[in-house]
Structure 1
Amino acid sequence: MSVTLHPTPQHPEPVAAPAARLALKIDGPSRGLLDGAWWPRSRDLLSELPALTDVLDPLWGRITRIAVNPKYWPIIPRQVPVDGHVVRVGWFTPEIDPHKLLLLSYGTGRWDLLIIPPETGAESAARLMAAASDYAGPPLTASELIAADEPRHGVAATDTAQDPDEAWVHEGGASSVSVPATELPGPLSRASRLIVGM
């Protein structure tokens, strides 16, 4: 048996990660229980958190700590290297809603994001993102918001069948081109919601 070895390229081409899929409140002080929503592409925090902090650091100040409930995350790294610094990751079972991500930035503040399950269909994810980033609310916890969306539409957010293209995106095959931030049309003021990576 023979083996062919190819030399490693001197300067490998950088591969851009897909943009984080976020909906954030950006107009004025936060009201309600959530500051927005995050729709990760997988349950791998080590690969998902750098894209999230790339978006949030310029908006909210350098994110230094992140806390999650371990219920839906198979592996929780203690630290995640991001652009130019390290983010410490912790987990708390009773204190944090399983569908919420807590982000901290020293000297700047704390933010709570709804975590939309990666396998959620696009329509359900869009509804949940809009509800979580509604400036006046939502009055529900993250888990209550996920549970409220399920019966209203007849299927669980995580049970929605995906077409092959959508499944490909959730498995990490999304385009490496970042999508610029856009605004959602609706009754909110034009500056009250920021949508990224959709």
Structure 2
Amino acid sequence: MTTTLERTAPRDLAAELPARLSLTPKTTLAGQLDGAWWPYSRDLEAELPPLAAALEEPWGRVTRVTVNPTRWPVVPHTVPMGGRLLHVGWFTEQDPDKLILLSYTVGRWDLLVIPPETDAASAARLMAAAAIPGSSLTAGVLMANETVIGRGMRDARRREATWESEGGACMSPFGNRMDRSTLPLPGDGWR
């Protein structure tokens, strides 16, 4: 029997789950980002209320949110949240991997948005990197770096699997099998 699991949570489940956040500690160092958010889905109407609620205590009341529409299939104008409306705007000029939160009384916060389908190890690296105080790395740079790191990790796992499937055979740096005749010889040679 085969079971297929969705990598993103349905609307009801997303609203019940706590927001997955990593925030920059309060410091005088100003960086490009104030932390990272890893939503469960690409449904802003379901995802924004838990996010704004989680941020009320440390940051104050969020009144507006802006996104780049390339990462969100539907961008509602307003999202109901606990008897009030959260206003949502979109700008194609905004970094697609960033969410901007605004408050009339407190200010602005920029969060890296980690795609919901991201694996846990990549999300953990991204959340930690986005929360470094004073970092000059933008959301786009962090995502590009993670793409390279993730690709390297997948290649390393593939190479290890190849090693194991071949019984630990010697491989050249170019991925070719090496036998004794192709190994470098010591000064006196092998016999």
Q: Structure 2 length normalisation: TM-score?
A: 0.70
> 1:36 corresponds to which residue?
35
Structure 2: gaps of 5 or more residues:
1-13, 155-191
> 2:161 corresponds to which residue?
none
Residue 46 of structure 1 contacts residue 77 of structure 1 at CA under 8 Å; is this kept in 2? yes
Change over 3 Å in CA distance of 1:67–1:156 after alignment to 2: farther
Aligned counterparts of 1:50 and 1:128: Cα–Cα separation in 2: 22
Question: Is 22-31 or 45-54 further displaced after alignment?
Answer: 22-31
Letter in 2 for 1:100: K
Change over 3 Å in CA distance of 1:21–1:140 after alignment to 2: same
Report the CA distance between 1:31 and its aligned residue. 1.6
Letter in 2 for 1:148: N
| Greater length-normalized contact order (CA 8 Å, ≥ 6 residues apart) | 1
Change over 3 Å in CA distance of 1:30–1:22 after alignment to 2: farther
Change over 3 Å in CA distance of 1:79–1:156 after alignment to 2: farther
> 2:124 corresponds to which residue?
126
Report the CA distance between 1:29 and its aligned residue. 3.8
Is 2:19 aligned against 1:20? Answer: yes
> 1:148 corresponds to which residue?
145
Change over 3 Å in CA distance of 1:37–1:117 after alignment to 2: same
Change over 3 Å in CA distance of 1:83–1:30 after alignment to 2: farther
Aligned counterparts of 1:18 and 1:154: Cα–Cα separation in 2: 30
Residue 20 of structure 1 contacts residue 55 of structure 1 at CA under 8 Å; is this kept in 2? yes
Change over 3 Å in CA distance of 1:18–1:76 after alignment to 2: same
Change over 3 Å in CA distance of 1:92–1:24 after alignment to 2: same
Q: Structure 1 length normalisation: TM-score?
A: 0.67
Residue 150 of structure 1 contacts residue 156 of structure 1 at CA under 8 Å; is this kept in 2? no
Aligned counterparts of 1:19 and 1:48: Cα–Cα separation in 2: 10
2:108 to 100, 107, 110: 110
Identity of aligned residues (%): 53
Structure ID, larger Rg: 2
Q: Paired residues, what number? A: 141
Structure 1: gaps of 5 or more residues:
1-14, 158-198
Alignment of 1:1-198 (within 5 A): 17-29=16-28, 31-94=30-93, 96-137=94-135, 139-154=136-151
Letter in 2 for 1:36: G
Aligned counterparts of 2:65 and 2:121: Cα–Cα separation in 1: 27
Aligned counterparts of 1:104 and 1:97: Cα–Cα separation in 2: 16
Aligned counterparts of 2:153 and 2:92: Cα–Cα separation in 1: 23
Aligned counterparts of 2:23 and 2:132: Cα–Cα separation in 1: 9
Report the CA distance between 1:82 and its aligned residue. 1.0
Give the number of the structure whose residues are more often helix, by fraction. 2
Cα RMSD after superposing both structures: 1.9
